[in-house]
Amino acid sequence: MPQNYRFLISYDGSRYYGWEHQPDTEMTIQGKLEAVLARMLDAEGTELIGAGRTDAGVHALGMVANAVFETTLSPKEIKEYFNRYLPEDICVLEVAKAGDRFHSRYNAIGKTYRYTCYIGEDKPVFDRKFVYVPEKKPDVQRMREAARYLTGEHDYASFCAHAGKKKSTVRRVDLIEIEEKNGYLTFLYHGSGFLQYMVRILTGTLLEVGFGDREPESMRELLDAKDRTKAGFTAPAKGLCMMKVDYD
């Protein structure tokens, strides 16, 4: 009898075109996982549904996904099978049986993302695929002040790559935490959900505040404008990592 399984997955997104299937390439996280699933089941067509659609070059420590299929393998054996055949930059951390109604995307109530910059003196040779190195060091206190205007429930149309007319751009961001330690500058975001490129645009805008190009209180005007062209640059994908997905 078919069973719904829940997966916890980590991946280095550097060489992939994001999570979701793309028409002209096999280099997606979903595609690689489903190829192994098809091999395990000896059948094509079973979809592995992710909690979010991370963009090209974005990483994950805690992506959640689910799929419904029938197998005689235990969850432990499923995990071992996947990790035997997946490429070295994708790992299944956990596999567990889930309820019939569990849906990794629709049941998610919150997500945590981390964006990492390197502002130290030396080159981050071994972290270079996972950090963004800005040209100058930003003022952390100014960015924290600006972040206070950006938390809460707002229309984040100014911070969305493609704000469609039919889809709501209202979201709730509970936390924007900015920390500097040992040459690394991290932005931790938690919210009910995030729009396309939203975390990267928020980060780019906050960095511009840190550079002195914008004032912290100008965040109010950006939210009211609902115009992507008014906000800051989109921070590079490689600094972004999905950390955790929350469920009831």
Look up residue 241 and give its amino acid: C
pLDDT at 165: 59
- Asked if 195 and 177 touch (Cβ cutoff 8 Å), the reply is no
pTM to 2 decimal places:
0.94
Beta-carbon contacts of 201 under 8 Å, excluding residues fewer than 6 positions away, are 158, 159, 160, 161, 228, 231, 232, 233, 234, 235
Out of 12, 55, 213, 224, the active site residue is 55
Catalytic residue list contains 213: no
Strands 240-246 and 59-69: parallel
pLDDT at 180: 97
* Domains of the chain, earliest start first: 3-98 (3.30.70.580), 110-246 (3.30.70.660)
Strands 3-11 and 59-69: antiparallel
Q: Scanning the structure block, which residue is given the tokens 């280099």?
A: 27
- Asked if 176 and 188 touch (Cβ cutoff 8 Å), the reply is yes
Q: What is the pLDDT of residues 82-108, one digit of tens each?
A: 999 999 999 999 999 999 999 999 999
Q: What is the pLDDT of residues 142-181, one digit of tens each?
A: 999 999 999 999 999 999 987 665 689 999 999 999 999 9
**Tokens standing for residue 51:** 């909690």
pLDDT at 164: 62
pLDDT at 162: 76
pLDDT profile of the chain (248 residues), mean per 10: 97 96 90 96 93 95 97 97 98 97 97 97 93 96 98 96 78 97 97 95 98 97 96 98 97
Distance CA 248, CA 231 (A): 34
Radius of gyration of the chain (CA): 19
Q: Scanning the structure block, which residue is given the tokens 């959640």?
A: 64
pLDDT at 166: 65
